C-alpha cells in the first residue's frame, strides 16, 4: 500500500517516500489545499443527503451534484479554484465516501489547511493535515447513483425570501413537534410556515420587514420535515439562506460558503397534500 | 383546526386569523403573558412528579396541586398575577400535558415572553412565542388524577433548615452512590443525612452555622432517593430551599420562584424503616 | 456499621462519633490528605487498566502496581509522601475498588482536600470531603491479581521521545479510524506512527525538532490501539509523555503527576505482526 510520508509538505505538491515504498505524486491527477472549515462545510452539506458522491474537478474548481437515494432532494456544491489556498487541478471525476472524509477532516482544527491529492492511478485520495497522512480508497464513479442534469434543477419559483439560518432551524424545530411535514407559503407581506398534527398545530409568520429580502408571489407547497431537518443542520450558523418556492413546486435553499467563493443549493420536491 | 396567526401580537390579546379560518380569542377564558424562564421553572417543578395536571386560574393568578401516580409525593405551585407581564384572567380549570408545554417553551430563550391563551370553547391552549403560534389540545380535567386537598398537606414539622439548592444536590448525589433511600435528621446543631448500602455507607453533616437558617427539633425520617433526585433536579440553581421535617413524617421542600411572586412546595411521604 | 461523622474535621485525624456508635480512628492504619485533583489523576491512571488493585502504603508514600486481566499491560503509580497535604502513614497493603473510589472523589472539586483513613481492623476506607463522610469496604488483597515484580518491568529500549499528551491523543485518534493496532517506530530523526486498514492507511511523522526530546535508536513495534486509547484518555492534558520503545519490545509511557511528587508509568507488550 502506498503511503504519504513527507511531514514537511507545506505547499501544493505532496511527494511520497517512506520505508514501505514511495510513489511520486507529481503525477497525481489533482492536488489542492483548502482550510478544514471550508472542507467540513462542503462535507456537511453533502452528508445531509448522501453517503457517497462524485467529485468533479476542472480548471474552475470543484463541483458536486448529488441526489438522495429516494430521488426526492438534490444538493449542488460549487467551490471555485479561488476558494483553495492552492489549486493545481486537472480534469477528473472521482467517487468519494463522504462520511469517511468527514471523519478525517474532523481531526483538524477548522482553520488548519488540508491537502488533498488524488492519485488517479491507484484510485486513492491522499489527505494531509500537518504531520498526518491519510490514504483513502476512492470509489468507482460508475457505481455511484447518477446525479441529475443541472438543467433539470432549474424551476420557476413564484417568489422567495432571504433569511438567517437560525430562522430555518426555528421553523423546522417548531413544526417538528407536531408533524412530519410542513407547508411553506408566501402571504402578502410575509413568509408563513404551518404544520398540523393530530391534535396540535404550529404556525410561524415572518413579516417581510423582518427578513433580509422578500420577493412576493403566489406560492404554497408541502414538504417533508425529515429532509428539511437534515438540510437545516448542514447550513452554517452564519449563512443567509436564499429560499425560493412556488405552488406545489420544489423548494430551493441556497447559501454561500467560503466567503462567497463557493455555494450550496438544496432542491427538495414537494409532497402531494391529501385533502 | 383553529390557528393563531397574528405575528405582531405584542400585548395580552391574541387575535386569530389565517387562511384556515380564524377565531377571535377576545372570548378566550384566560390570556396571560410571562417570561419563558419563569414558565420553564414551573413546568420543571411539575414534571418532577407528573406528566399531566390541572391548571387552576383565578383572579389571584395560577395555582397547581398535583400528586405523583404512586401518591407518595405532591407538588404545589403558586404563581401570583404579579408574576405575569400581563394577566387577563378569568376563573377556570384546565387539564395540561406538562411535558408537551415544556417542549414548546423550551424553544424560547429564557427571557423571552410567552403568551398563553386558553380557548375554553375549543379546549385549546394557544402558545405564542414571537412569530411562533402553537395550538395545543387541552385535556379534560376530569380525566386527571384528583389533587389532594391542600389542608391534607399541612403537617406538623419538628424543625427544619434553609439551605442552598446545591446542598440538596450534594446530599442526594452522594447518598445515591450507596442506597435508594436516605435518612434525614436534625441533630443538636446540625442537619444530618445518612444512607447505608450493603457494604458502603455515606453521611453528611451540615452545621447550623453553615446553613442559611436552622430550626432545631426532634426529627428523623427515611425517604426515597428516587423522588428526592427528581425534585432536586427541578429546583433552580439559585434557590434557597426551605426544608422541614419531623419524625416519621413527610418532608417539605419549598422555594420561591419568579422573584418571590411565586412558590413551589414538594411534600414527600416517609418510607417506613425496617429495623 | 461504623460511620464517620465529625464534619469539622479539618486536619489529618478523622475521629468517629454519631448516634450509631463511633470508633476512634487514631488507630487507623493510615491517614492521609490529598487534593481531589491529584487523587483523580491517580484513579484515572489505574482505571485505564484495572477495576481493582492493591494499594501499598509505606513511609515514603503510596505505590501501586497493577496488571490488566489479559496481562498485556501494566501500570505503576508512585505518590510520594510530599504529594500529600498530610501523610500519617504506617505500612500496609489494602485492596481497592478503583472505580468506586473514583465516583466518590468525582463528587469533589479538584482543588478540594480529600481525607483518606484506612481502618485495618474493620477493613474500611473512610473518605472525607468537607461535610461528606463515605465509608467504603476494602477488598482482601489476596483476592486481587498479583502485580508483576517491578524488576520484570525494566526493559532495554532502543530509543524514545518526549511529547505532549495531545500528540499521543492525536496519533491514537487518527490511527483508530482505520485499524485496531498501530506500529510505532523511530526513524532517523523522527517518531513515526503507522496503521493499515483493509482499504485505508494512516501515517504520522513527528520530526525530532518538533518534539520535547528525542533519543534516536533502532525501534519498531506493533501495539494494540485499544490499550493505547485507554491510556491516552488517562494521561492529563498538560503532561509531557516520556515514550520509550524498541524492536518487538514493550512500549513505556511515563509522566509526572502531583507537580513532580508522583509518577505514572504504563508498559504495554507488543503484538506480534503477521507478515
Indicate the DSSP class of residue B144. Answer: S
Three-class secondary structure of residue B51 per DSSP: coil
Extract the C-alpha cell encoding A239: 449563512
Mean pLDDT along residues C53-57: 95
Measured between alpha carbons, how far is residue A137 from residues A5, A95, A101, C176 in Å?
Answer: 17, 9, 10, 17
Cα gap A242→A151, rounded to integer Å:
19
Q: Does C202 touch chain A (CB under 8 A)?
A: yes
* Exposure letters B127-150 (e unless 16+ CB within 10 A, then b): bbbbbbbbbbbbbebeebeebeee
B132/A contact by beta carbon, under 8 A: yes
Q: Are B59 and B110 in contact (CB under 8 A)?
A: no
How many interchain CB pairs under 8 A, B with C?
52
* DSSP assignment string, A155-223: ---SEEEEEEHHHHHHHHHHHTTT-SEEEEEEETTEEEEEEE-SS-EEEEEEEGGGSSEEE----EEEE
Which CATH class for the C155-268 domain?
Answer: alpha beta
Candidates C14, C126, C131: best to mutate against B (most CBs of B within 10 A) is C131
Contact B201/C134, CB-based, under 8 Å?
Answer: yes
SS3 label, residue A104: helix
Per-residue CA distances from C268 to A260, C76, C154, C206 (Å)? 51, 12, 12, 21
Q: Do B132 and A174 touch (CB under 8 A)?
A: yes
Contacts of A108 (CB under 8 A, 6+ apart): A36, A114, A129, A130
User: For the segment B115-174, what is each residue's pLDDT rounded down to a tens digit?
Assistant: 999 998 889 999 999 999 999 999 999 999 888 888 887 888 999 999 999 999 999 999
- Is residue C24 a contact partner of residue C43, using CB atoms and an 8 Å limit? no
pLDDT tens digits along A14-68:
333 333 333 444 456 789 999 999 999 999 999 999 999 999 999 999 999 999 9
Q: Quick check: B212 contacting A, CB < 8 Å?
A: no
DSSP A116: E
| CB of A15 less than 8 A from some CB of C | no
Is the confidence at residue B46, as pLDDT, over 60?
yes
Among B89-93, B117-121, C12-16, C190-194, the range scoring the smallest mean pLDDT is C12-16
| Interchain pair A131, C210: CB under 8 A | yes
The burial class, CB within 10 Å (0-12 / 13-18 / 19+), for B109 is exposed
B21 touches chain A (CB under 8 A): no
In angstroms, what separates the C-alpha of A34 from chain B's closest C-alpha? 36
Average pLDDT over residues C20-42: 74
Distance of CA A22 to the CA centre of its chain: 34
The rounded radius of gyration (Å) of the Cα atoms in chain A is 21
Say what the pLDDT of residue C274 is.
Answer: 56
The CATH code that applies to domain A25-139 is 3.70.10.10
What pLDDT is stored for residue C239 in this prediction?
A: 97
In the sheet with C124-129, reading across from the earlier edge strand, the strands are B220-224, B181-187, B190-196, B201-207, C132-137, C124-129, C113-119, C30-35, C86-88
Contact C3 B205 (CB under 8 A): no
Q: Distance between CA C73 and CA C50 in Å, rounded?
A: 10
Angle formed at CA B97 by CA B92 and CA B100, multiple of 5 degrees: 130
**What is the Cα–Cα distance from B225 to B228, expressed in whole angstroms?**
5
Q: Tell me the pLDDT tens digit for each residue of B173-189.
A: 999 999 999 999 999 89
| H-type alpha helices, chain B | 36-47, 98-105, 165-175, 225-234
Residues with Cβ within 8 Å of residue B189, at least 6 apart in sequence: B207, B208, B209, B214, B216
Answer whether B201 touches C (CB < 8 Å): yes
Q: Which of A173, A174, A209 to mutate to test the interface with B (most CBs of B within 10 A)?
A: A174
Q: Does domain A153-268 have CATH number 3.60.20.10?
A: no
Residues 101-120 of A with CB under 8 A from C: 103-104, 107
What is the number of CB-based contacts under 8 A between chain A and chain C? 53
* CATH topology assigned to domain B25-143: Proliferating Cell Nuclear Antigen (3.70.10)
The pLDDT tens digits for C64-75 are 999 999 999 999
Contact C7 B194 (CB under 8 A): no
More confident residue, C130 or C150: C130
Inter-chain CB proximity C201 and A134 less than 8 Å:
yes
Neighbours of chain B (3+ CB pairs under 8 A): A, C
Q: CA–CA separation, A175 vs B132, rounded Å? A: 10
Residue pair C178/C234 in contact by the 8 Å Cβ criterion? no
Backbone angles phi, psi at B170, to 5 degrees: -70, -45
Q: Do domains A25-139 and A153-268 have the same CATH topology?
A: yes
CA-CA distances (angstroms) from residue C110 to B139, C38, C39, C40, C132? Answer: 49, 8, 9, 8, 15
B64-92 b/e with 16+ CB inside 10 Å = b?
Answer: bbbbbeeebbbbbbbbbbebbeebbbeee
Q: Which residues of B touch A203 (CB under 8 A)?
A: 3-5, 18, 132-133, 135
Count CB atoms within 10 A of the CB of residue A151: 6
The contacts of residue B223 (CB under 8 Å, 6+ apart) are B181, B182, B183, B184, B251, B268, B270, B271
Q: State the average pLDDT over residues C200-222.
A: 96
The strand pair at A92-97 and A86-88 is best described as unpaired
* A191 contact B CB<8A: no
Q: Which of C102, C94, C97, C109 is nearest to C35 (CA)?
A: C109
Chain-chain contact of C174 with A134 (C-beta, under 8 angstroms): yes
A196 → closest Cβ in B1, B132, B136? B1
**A132/C187 touch (CB, cutoff 8 Å), yes or no:** no
Tell me what the mean pLDDT of segment C250-260 comes to. 97
Q: What is the mean pLDDT of chain B?
A: 88
- Site from A163, A188, A204, A247 to mutate, B interface, most B CB atoms within 10 angstroms: A204
Q: Quick check: B6 pLDDT over 90?
A: no
The domain locations on chain B are 25-143, 155-268
Residue of C nearest to B169 (CA): C107
Note the pLDDT of residue C9.
Answer: 37
**Is residue C21 scored above 60 in pLDDT?**
no
Instruction: For this complex, say whether ipTM is above 0.95.
Output: no
- Burial string for B152-176 (b: 16+ CB within 10 Å, else e) reads ebeeebbbbbbbbbebbebbbbbbb
Q: Mean pLDDT for each 10-residue chunk of chain A (275 residues)?
A: 35 34 51 96 98 94 96 96 90 94 95 94 94 96 88 88 97 96 95 95 96 96 97 97 96 97 97 66
Q: Tell me the C-alpha distance between C259 and B73, whole Å.
A: 50
Given a cut of 60, whether residue C45 has pLDDT beyond it is yes
Amino acid at each position: 500500500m502506498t503511503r504519504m510520508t513527507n511531514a514537511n509538505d507545506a505547499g501544493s505538491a505532496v511527494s511520497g517516500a517512506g520505508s514501505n515504498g514511495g510513489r511520486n505524486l507529481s503525477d497525481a491527477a489533482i492536488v489542492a489545499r483548502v482550510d478544514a472549515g471550508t472542507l467540513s462545510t462542503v462535507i456537511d452539506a453533502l452528508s445531509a443527503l448522501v453517503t457517497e458522491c462524485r467529485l468533479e474537478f476542472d480548471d474552475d474548481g470543484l463541483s458536486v451534484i448529488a441526489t438522495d437515494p429516494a430521488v426526492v432532494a438534490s444538493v449542488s456544491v460549487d467551490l471555485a479554484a479561488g476558494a483553495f489556498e492552492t489549486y493545481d487541478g486537472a480534469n477528473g471525476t472521482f467517487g468519494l465516501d463522504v462520511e469517511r472524509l468527514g471523519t478525517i477532516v474532523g481531526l483538524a482544527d477548522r482553520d488548519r489547511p488540508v491537502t488533498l491529492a488524488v492519485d488517479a492511478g491507484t484510485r486513492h485520495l491522499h489527505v494531509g493535515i500537518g504531520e498526518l497522512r491519510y490514504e483513502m480508497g476512492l470509489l468507482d464513479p460508475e457505481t455511484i447513483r447518477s446525479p441529475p442534469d443541472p438543467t433539470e434543477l432549474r424551476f420557476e419559483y413564484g417568489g422567495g425570501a432571504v433569511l438567517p439560518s437560525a430562522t430555518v432551524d426555528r421553523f423546522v424545530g417548531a413544526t417538528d413537534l407536531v408533524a412530519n411535514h410542513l407547508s411553506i407559503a408566501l402571504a402578502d407581506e410575509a413568509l408563513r410556515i404551518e404544520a398540523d398534527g393530530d391534535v396540535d398545530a404550529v404556525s410561524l409568520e415572518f413579516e417581510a420587514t423582518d427578513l433580509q429580502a422578500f420577493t412576493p408571489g403566489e406560492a404554497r407547497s408541502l414538504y417533508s420535515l425529515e429532509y428539511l431537518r437534515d438540510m437545516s443542520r448542514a447550513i452554517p450558523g452564519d449563512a443567509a439562506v436564499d429560499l425560493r418556492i412556488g405552488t406545489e413546486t420544489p423548494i430551493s435553499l441556497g447559501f454561500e460558503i467560503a466567503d462567497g467563493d463557493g455555494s450550496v443549493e438544496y432542491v427538495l420536491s414537494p409532497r402531494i397534500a391529501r385533502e
